[in-house]
Amino acid sequence: MDNLSNPAVIRALLERHGFSFSKALGQNFLINPGVCPKMAQLGIDSPDWGVLEIGAGVGVLTQELARRAAKVAVVEIDQRLLPVLEESLAEYENVSVILGDVMKVDLPALLKEQFGDRPVCVCANLPYYITSPILMMLLEQRLPLQAITVMVQKEAAARLCAQPGNRECGAVTFAVRYYSTPRQLFPVSRGSFFPAPKVDSAVIRLDIHPNPDYGVKDEKLLFTAVRAGFGQRRKTLANPLSGALHLPKEQVQQALTQAGLSLTVRAEAVPFEGWIRLANALKERLG
Ligand code: SAM
């Protein structure tokens, strides 16, 4: 089915199936015809790749992915879209639509079953209400992915691609930088969606590091410290870290000094390597 980025075609398709948009599920579908081909082209490096898409909508991006990759599997939570997709994707034999919540699906099993040993990437226009949880989940599971190319809110794109140690940073920024090399690809205006959201968007690509190794002694401790620090980002680090790790404040302060950080430092001012040194110094005190 052609012209899936034409609002009149989308409206007619959705009306035929009695579909109405759900705001709660972040259903803003792409109608700018330039965006999906560009996303698919920049997200897929080889026609041998498999692609995992999250959230199909009416299948406008799915079609572009199917044209450029060996296989596409798309996880969509809204059962009402299944008959719509059956119609819009009828001519694409290399697409599987899987009904489910991407946060609950067994992704390692799904990737194996759908793609076997093929290189796989993620390419998606993410539902904005769970952008960070989805990215954290994809990264922390250490899925065998080459890259993750996603549309997110403009502000989220800036935060996700910021350098740790910068004011825009959050805990997710650190995780992104730990597991990947992020970059912003291109901006997308709010008018590119139907219905139009209140914010502009941007497409980012994360190139996954196959074996991140920064000499971290205890990864779980590192991420607990990062989350605790950014959870109270207006406070200096010693208090939140002491609380989260059940370690006396004086020992946290010694660890900060050992890591070459100021006792009054806040999470957003800690550079990437600073977090690694700090977590290793804390580990020495926790045993
Ligand atoms: N890919 C389409 C496009 O670009 O027009 C739709 C993108 S729309 C922003 C997000 C899609 O994600 C919707 O189809 C929505 O139903 C779906 N969705 C929302 N939450 C989801 C979840 N937890 N798991 C899977 N899909 C989800």
- pLDDT of 236-250, one tens digit each? 999 999 999 999 999
pLDDT score for 166: 87
pLDDT at 89 over 90: yes
- Distance from the CA of 76 to the center of ligand 1, in angstroms? 6
pLDDT at 55 over 90: yes
CA angle 120, 32, 83 (to 5 degrees): 65
pLDDT score for 7: 87
pLDDT at 1 over 80: no
**Mean pLDDT along residues 196-206:** 97
% of the chain surpassing 70 pLDDT: 100
The minimum-distance atom of ligand 1 relative to the CA of 55 is 12
pLDDT score for 213: 87
Least Cα distance to 126 among 153, 101, 100, 88 occurs for: 153
Mutate to test the pocket of ligand 1, among 20, 60, 77, 150 (most ligand atoms within 8 A of CB): 77
pLDDT at 52 over 90: yes
pLDDT at 2 over 80: no
CA–CA separation, 150 and 30 (whole Å): 13
Tell me the whole-structure pTM to 2 decimals.
0.94
Task: Give Cα separations from 263 to 173, 204, 221, 283 (angstroms).
Answer: 22, 35, 20, 18
Average pLDDT score over the chain: 95
> What are phi and psi for residue 200, nearest 5 degrees?
-85, 165
Q: How many CA atoms within 13 Å lie on the side-chain side of 136?
A: 11
Tokens of 145: 């992915």
**Of all residues in the chain, what percent are helix, strand and coil, respectively (each to 5)?**
45, 20, 35
How do residues 249-272 score in pLDDT, each as one tens digit?
Answer: 999 999 999 999 999 999 999 999
With a 6 Å cutoff on the Cβ, whether 59 touches ligand 1 is no
% of the chain surpassing 90 pLDDT: 92
**Beta-bridge mates of residue 122:** 52, 148
pLDDT at 20 over 80: yes
At residue 212 the predicted structure's pLDDT band, cuts being 50, 70 and 90, is confident
At residue 3 the predicted structure's pLDDT band, cuts being 50, 70 and 90, is confident
CA–CA separation, 254 and 258 (whole Å): 6
Tokens of 40: 């698919």
Q: Whose CA is nearest to atom 19 of ligand 1?
A: 25
CB 240 within 8 A of CB 249: no
CA angle 87, 60, 69 (to 5 degrees): 100
What residues form the annotated binding site for S-adenosyl-L-methionine? 28, 30, 55, 76, 101, 125
CA–CA separation, 203 and 152 (whole Å): 6
Q: What is the DSSP letter of 76?
A: E
Tokens of 156: 């989220």
CA–CA separation, 207 and 156 (whole Å): 17
The contacts of residue 15 (CB under 8 Å, 6+ apart) are none
Tokens of 164: 């740790």
> What are phi and psi for residue 34, nearest 5 degrees?
-80, -20
